[in-house]
Amino acid sequence: MPAMSEQERRPETDGRDFADAAWSVPSYLMSGILLWGGIGWLLSWWTGVHAFIPIGVILGVGLAAYLIYLKYGR
């Protein structure tokens, strides 16, 4: 199956691509924040160092932004 960029664009699917991206981008960001922030919270709880929570949240946002760039930015 060819990639979306290789497929022929049809007028009926153009709006759907935008809607898919509009739901995917916030989902990636929230997932990154929750997953890596949760890992940071667990590390903070386990070690007693409270700096892991913001580090995990920032790491989650950064990795989510990188995945969004890979999917939509190229």
**In-domain check, residue 21:** no
**In-domain check, residue 6:** no
Q: pLDDT tens-digit profile of 15-64?
A: 666 677 778 899 999 999 999 999 999 999 999 999 999 999 999 999 99
**In-domain check, residue 25:** no
pLDDT at 23: 84
Query: Residues 29, 55: contact at Cβ < 8 Å?
Result: no
More confident residue, 72 or 67: 67
Hunting for tokens 């007028």 — which residue is that?
A: 11
**Is the pLDDT confidence value at 11 over 70?**
no
**In-domain check, residue 62:** yes
Query: Which domain, by its residues, includes 66?
Result: 30-73
Q: Determine the Cα–Cα distance for residues 53 and 40; give it in Å rounded to an integer.
A: 4
Q: At what angle do helices 11-47 and 52-68 cross, to 10 degrees?
A: 160
Q: How many domains does the chain have?
A: 1
Cα 53-57-62 angle, rounded to 5 deg: 145
